[in-house]
Structure 1
Amino acid sequence: MTPDPAAPLGLRERKKRAARQAMSEAALRLAVEKGVEQVRVEDIASAVGVSPRTFNNYFSSKEEAICSFIVERQERLREALRVRPAEETLWEAVSAATLEAYSSLGEPNRDSVTVARSLLLHPAVQGEFLKAHAKVEQVLADAILERAGAGAENALNARLMAAIVESAVKTAFFSWLIYEGAGPFLETLAVLLREASAGIPSLTGSGPEPVKKLKKK
């Protein structure tokens, strides 16, 4: 029997997620304090009281652990989308769920800009950053398809919508990171999502009922 993705997490899965999050937070904190090059897997494992072997069961590298906080957002996004009102259009629900998921983390701290820049200048971290966003995009696409209803055309449009959302997230983040006079991340993200909605009239299926055919211009 296939597990129900909407079912509550069991104790074992919750423990695994908590362990993964603890190692990710330790990796990010140590990278900020010491610099990526100076952090070893052994340091991260020791910081949370596990063995390097246990760390390697969760992450393939320290860079993956550093960027794992991005992947953690996928569950927030999926859960936020599932509870959006059924009367909302698909884009309204996705946009609201995205803002809700990122708002729950709070506005990024301006004092951390220099540190964030230094981390993202590291080639291996850059690669993992993009891979993490790709994972979030896939989970969001699956959640969109779950709401819109299965079907080849909906599957294609769900991937497109998820790509648009993740592009907006990355654009808002890099604007906040690079430009000194840029507005708050969450405010910029809200503007980008609002503007994106004008260009995707074919992605407006409403509610959790299957959308058999999405209209095109």
Structure 2
Amino acid sequence: MTPDCLKPRGLREAKKAQTRSALSAAALDLVSTRGYEATTVEAIAQAAGVSVRTFHNYFPGKAAALANLAANLVEEYHAELRAQPDEVSCADALRDAWRAMLDRYRADVAVLSVLIDAVESNPDLRRHLQDNHPEVLVTGVEEVARRLGLDPADSAVPHVVAEITFTLAVTVIRMHASPDFAGRTQDDLLDEVFSALPLLVAVPTDPHHTD
């Protein structure tokens, strides 16, 4: 019997969640300094202060560790989006949800950029994210559809808007890190980039309507 087995269930689950988060954070930190390919499971485990065996108790590999972090951040963004008042436009809700996220992680924007680059450039990481965290592709679409009064099963608009919104947010992150935009604040860039969004989420036309 291990010491963890003697702990109340709530404490055991909290410790597991803490270890899982520490492994994901260590994976991202190493990827940001060494690159994805050069980052090994052994290095992640060592950085998190656990054994390789313990790492594999939580994740099958480094892609899973990074996908876990990406999924948590997307889930956090979706919670921010759902918290936006229904009285505001869909475009404003999407922008303000991203503003809340970028404000919260203002000191870690460069690291977030590394995570985004890793997801976009590594097929195994994208595949693991899609296969094991399908909710990241669904929740945002459903909330956009609700705000636009559309059925996501019948309309492509919510799917396109959700994808474009993510692209706009990534653009802001990368612009803010670029020397070409050194004189611009993150909030200023966010407002300007997202100013194009209302054109995309205007009241949609019925694709089945005929004159």
TM-score band, normalised by shorter chain? 0.5 to 0.7
**Partners of 1:102 and 1:96 in 2: how far apart?**
10
Amino acid at match of 1:180: P
Residues 176 and 51 of structure 1: CA distance in aligned 2, closer, same or farther (over 3 Å): same
Distance between the aligned counterparts of 1:184 and 1:198, measured in 2?
24
Say if 1:145 and 1:52 are closer, same or farther in 2 by CA, change over 3 A.
farther
The 1:152–1:125 alpha-carbon spacing in structure 2 relative to 1, beyond 3 Å, is closer
After TM superposition, give the deviation of residue 54 of structure 1 in Å: 4.4
* Unpaired segments ≥5 residues, structure 2: 1-8
Distance 1:151 1:72 in 2: 26
**Deviation (angstroms), 1:174:** 3.0
Kindly indicate whether the alpha-carbon contact (under 8 Å) linking 1:108 and 1:185 is maintained by their aligned counterparts in 2: no
- TM-score (ref. length: structure 1): 0.64
Amino acid at match of 2:22: A
Please point out which of 120, 127, 131 is paired with 2:122. Answer: 127
Alignment RMSD, CA only?
4.2
Mapped pair 1:181 → 2:180: yes
Determine if contact 1:41/1:61 at 8 Å carries over to the other structure: yes
**1:148: Cα distance to partner?**
5.0
Preserved contact between residue 31 and residue 66 of structure 1 (Cα < 8 Å): no
C-alpha distance in structure 1 between counterparts of 2:55 and 2:74, whole Å: 21
Judging changes above 3 Å, is the alpha-carbon distance between structure 1 residues 125 and 191 closer, same or farther for their aligned structure 2 residues? closer
Corresponding pairs, count:
191
What is residue 104 of structure 1 aligned with on the other side?
104
Higher relative helix content: 2
C-alpha distance in 1, partners of 2:144/2:155? Answer: 9
Assess, with a 3 A threshold, how the Cα gap between structure 1 residues 19 and 128 changes in structure 2: closer, same or farther: farther
Point out which structure has higher relative CO (alpha carbons under 8 A, 6+ apart): 1
Instruction: Tell me, in whole angstroms, the C-alpha distance in 2 between the residues paired with 1:145 and 1:14.
Output: 34
> Whole-Å Cα distance in 2 between the matches of residues 100 and 38 of structure 1?
33
Which residue in 2 is equivalent to 1:41? 41
Identity of aligned residues (%): 23
Look up the equivalent residue of 1:189 and give its one-letter code. Answer: L
